[in-house]
Amino acid sequence: MSGRLELQGLRKSFGGVVATDDVTLGFEPGTLSAIIGPNGAGKTTLFHLITGKLPVTAGRVLLDGAEITGLDRREIVRRGIGRAFQVANLFPSFSVQDSLAAALMAHAGRTAGLFSTFPPPDVQRQAEEVMELCGLTHLSRTEARHLSHGDQKLLDIALALALNPKVLLLDEPTAGMGPDERWRMIERVYRLWEARKLTLIFIEHDMDIVFKIAQSVRVLRYGAVLAEGTPEEVRRNPAVVEAYLGAEHAL
């Protein structure tokens, strides 16, 4: 089974600000992990480094043992790392099904054709599969800009998923949602993970969600790893309790 992601001594500084400080973490194939940490802890930056959106200052990123540090971000997508964004990053005038079809075709390098009609039937079928999996089928013809906030986040995840990644990074999939919507979203994410058996890493602020579904939790603070382990271990870790969770979550 593939999809092992390893970060070795990863470091990123913006001028004087150290956003990622010597992060060494391993994610086993097919696991479901959460990354938590207060605002500004460097969670999103870590995803930028893994996906090649930002160059690393030092350290290495390995996917299934092969180094991918410094590769072009398209190449990193092609190697199998998918990513959804903290703020949904979509094609506003495309319907849901066309967004997915367009993503699939761009990824497969099939957008040069002038004489065929977009989308071709085989791509259309793939797009339908992804919509089915993400529960977007009933919205297939709705333009992305007319979707609700939650469905936009879902489409963003679907776009990443369409490219069949081995590792999927979700940056706050439930950001900006009400309590009910959050749980619906996270159930979807959980089912996606079960169905696709991929290595899923998500950033989340809601501790109830994290402790309920994650197999392992990594805690970041000031860009460095403060703690890691199972939800139980992290919940009991005194440093975490003191630094981050506060009184309401302590034991």
Partner 1 sequence: MGFGRDSAIALAVLLVFILLEFTGLRSAGLVDFAIRFATFGLLALSLNLLIGSAGLVSFGHAAYFGMGAYSFGLLMQTGAWSVPAAILAAVAMTALLALVIGALCVRLSEIYFAFLTLAFQMLLHSLILSWIGLTGGDQGLMGGIPKPPFLGVDLARQDHLAAFSLFCLVASAVALRQILRSPFGAALRMLRDNPDRAAFLGLSVFRYRLAAFVIAGSFAGLAGVLMSLYVSGAFPSFAFWTTSGEAIFMIMLGGVSVFLGPLVGTAIFLMLNDWITAVTEHHGLFLGIILLIIVLGLRKGLLDFAVEHWRARRGNQP
Ligand X SMILES: Nc1ncnc2c1ncn2[C@@H]1O[C@H](COP(=O)(O)OP(=O)(O)OP(=O)(O)O)[C@@H](O)[C@H]1O
| Least distance to partner 1, CB of residue 213, Å | 27
90 scored as a contact of partner 1 (CB under 8 A): yes
89 token code pair = 């990053």
* CA–CA distance, 41 with 244 (Å, rounded to integer): 11
Under the binding rule (CB under 8 A), the answer on residue 119 touching partner 1 is: yes
Q: Which is nearer to partner 1, 73 or 236 (CB)?
A: 73
Query: Is 237 near Mg ion (CB under 5 A)?
Result: no
Of the candidate residues 4, 43, 153, 166, the single one contacting ligand X (CB under 6 A): 43
Residue 230 lies near partner 1 (rule: CB under 8 A): no
Inter-residue contact 46 to 64 (CB < 8 Å): no
Q: Distance between CA atoms of 206 and 35, rounded to whole angstroms?
A: 11
Q: Is 112 in the site for partner 1 (CB under 8 A)?
A: yes
Residues 30-69 that bind Mg ion (CB under 5 A): 44
State in angstroms the smallest separation of the CB of 174 from ligand X: 13
Q: Contacting partner 1 (CB under 8 A), which of 19, 163, 201, 234?
A: 163
Rounded least distance, CB 172 to ligand X, Å: 7
Touching partner 1, residues 63-82 (CB under 8 A): 73-74, 77-78
Shortest Cβ 74–ligand X spacing (Å)? 20
Q: Hey, which residues between 94 and 153 contact ligand X (CB under 6 A)?
A: none
The interface mask with ligand X, positions 4-23, x = CB under 6 A, is ----------x--x-x----
The partner in contact with residue 37, picked from ligand X, partner 1, Mg ion, none with C-beta cut-offs of 5 to 8 angstroms by kind, is ligand X
Nearer to partner 1, 54 or 234 (CB): 54
Which residues form the interface with ligand X (CB under 6 A)? 14, 17, 19, 37, 39-45, 86
